[in-house]
Amino acid sequence: MSTLSLTQLMIGGGLAALVAGLSYLFRLLSFSGAVAALVIGFLIFGFGGIGFAGPLLAFFFSCSLLSQVGRKRKERMNALYEKGSTRDAMQVFANGGIAALLAAVFPFLEAHRETVLMMAIASLAAVNADTWATEIGSLQRGSPWMVTTLRRVPAGTSGAVSWLGLLAALLGALFIGLVGVLTWPPRSIYILWQPEVPELLAVAWAGFLAALADSILGGSFQAQYRCLRCGALTERKTHCPDAPVRLGRGYRWMTNDLVNLIASLLGALFVWFLLAYFVYPA
Ligand SMILES: [Zn+2]
């Protein structure tokens, strides 16, 4: 029995258009990013409903707000990142694609709805943890260290972590878990029980561990280019104007977006594992 409702699809489509349109106006999203957000938002709001929508909106608005904090300092560091703060379609799909796929199958499921919803929340917890870690961690003075080698590296390097960033990741994952509990669909609709503290902790840990995995992948396999003029290692294919770059580390095809997509998938898989083996052991 499908619980897809025409009313929810129409409200979902309208809400997705509103969020995508406003985000484009306020330059949080590029045009392609807004189109991608419309697709993701329609699936999450229209197919998934409130249980998916709450965590997605919490992720989107908290990260947009945090990107405005300490903006001057971040703009200087942005030279090292692959992309700026206006998100494009690939970034939107990398962050919300897994949750949207889970939302798309959700109304057609006969069983295991709770698990699928928690997997979607954990995938958003993962990307939220990673974004909070980047946005808040970059405000810390002093150099961060590589998660893979523990060596000090310049702020903004992929795979670099700091204590403040790790704390922000943990809080970012917990925040999405809390919103997920608060917006969990009412019993009467299609879910029989409410998540409790063990489920919340499973989502938060899954999100945090997936964000750590994001840093490890970012510091090892992700493509990093060496600027041939100044020697900086960067995600970008151009650094100093008109100066060539060459691949300095990782694989060319392993972009920052792909790393984020893998982390969001890992968040979903980690929570499934934690639920199956620790929260509901057979
Ligand atoms: Zn350079």
Q: What is the pLDDT of residues 177-232, one digit of tens each?
A: 999 999 998 765 667 778 889 999 999 999 999 999 999 999 999 999 999 999 88
Checking 34-39 for CB contacts under 8 A at 24+ apart, the result is: 35/89, 36/88, 36/89, 36/90, 36/92, 36/93, 37/92, 37/96, 39/100
Per-residue CA distances from 109 to 5, 50, 62, 77, 104 (Å): 14, 17, 30, 45, 10
| Residue 70 confidence (pLDDT) | 77
User: pTM of the predicted model, to two decimals?
Assistant: 0.93
Q: How far is the CA of 77 from the centre of ligand 1 (A)?
A: 13
Distance in Å, CA 205 to ligand 1 centroid: 38
CA distance 13 to 106: 17
The residues whose Cβ lies within 5 A of ligand 1, an ion, are 227, 229-230, 232, 239-240
Instruction: State what percent of residues in the chain have pLDDT above 90.
Output: 68
Structure token digits, residue 156 = 């903004």
Question: What pLDDT is attached to residue 68?
Answer: 83
CA gap 72, 51 in Å, rounded: 36
pLDDT tens column, 17-74: 999 999 999 999 999 999 999 999 999 999 999 999 999 999 999 998 998 887 777 7
CA 216 – CA 5 distance, rounded (Å): 41
Mean pLDDT (the chain, rounded): 91
